[in-house]
Amino acid sequence: ILFSMREYTKAMEAAQEATDFDEDKKHTAEIESLMQKCAAALYTERSQETEEQALARAMKDPEVAQIMSDPIMQSILQQAQQDPASLADHMKSPMIAQKIRKLVAAGIIKTR
């Protein structure tokens, strides 16, 4: 429903949450497919944004603003700029992983 409403970020968050509940991995392919569709739609939607525009848009979300003002997250993001592979270690913490996924969905953290 969120995807059809063009709420791609919220749809990605819901799909990510669905993976937590899909303990038997019966819906993995369907969830991954939806996440890929959301990512493609977001990429298309944001392809013309500058980094400044992306940051301004993302900071309108109170949750993103809170994450970005957290000193621990600021430290993690600075470390990730110097060593992108360090994010993999931080993703082991469910709370940090959730915040990082939120920043990815908001376009603050770019993935390839």
pLDDT given at position 95: 92
Residues 71 and 91 sit within 8 Å (Cβ to Cβ): no
Question: Which among 51, 42, 79 has a CA at the least distance from the CA of 96?
Answer: 79
Residues 17-29 have pLDDT tens digits of 898 889 899 999 9
* Region 71-81 average pLDDT: 93
Q: Is 51 helix (H, G, I), strand (E, B) or coil?
A: helix
Residue owning tokens 């809170």 = 66
Question: At residue 112, does pLDDT exceed 70?
Answer: no
**pTM of the predicted structure, to 2 decimals:** 0.66
Domain ranges within the chain, ordered by starting residue: 7-48, 51-106
CATH number of 51-106: 1.10.260.100
Alpha-carbon distance 2 to 9, whole Å?
9
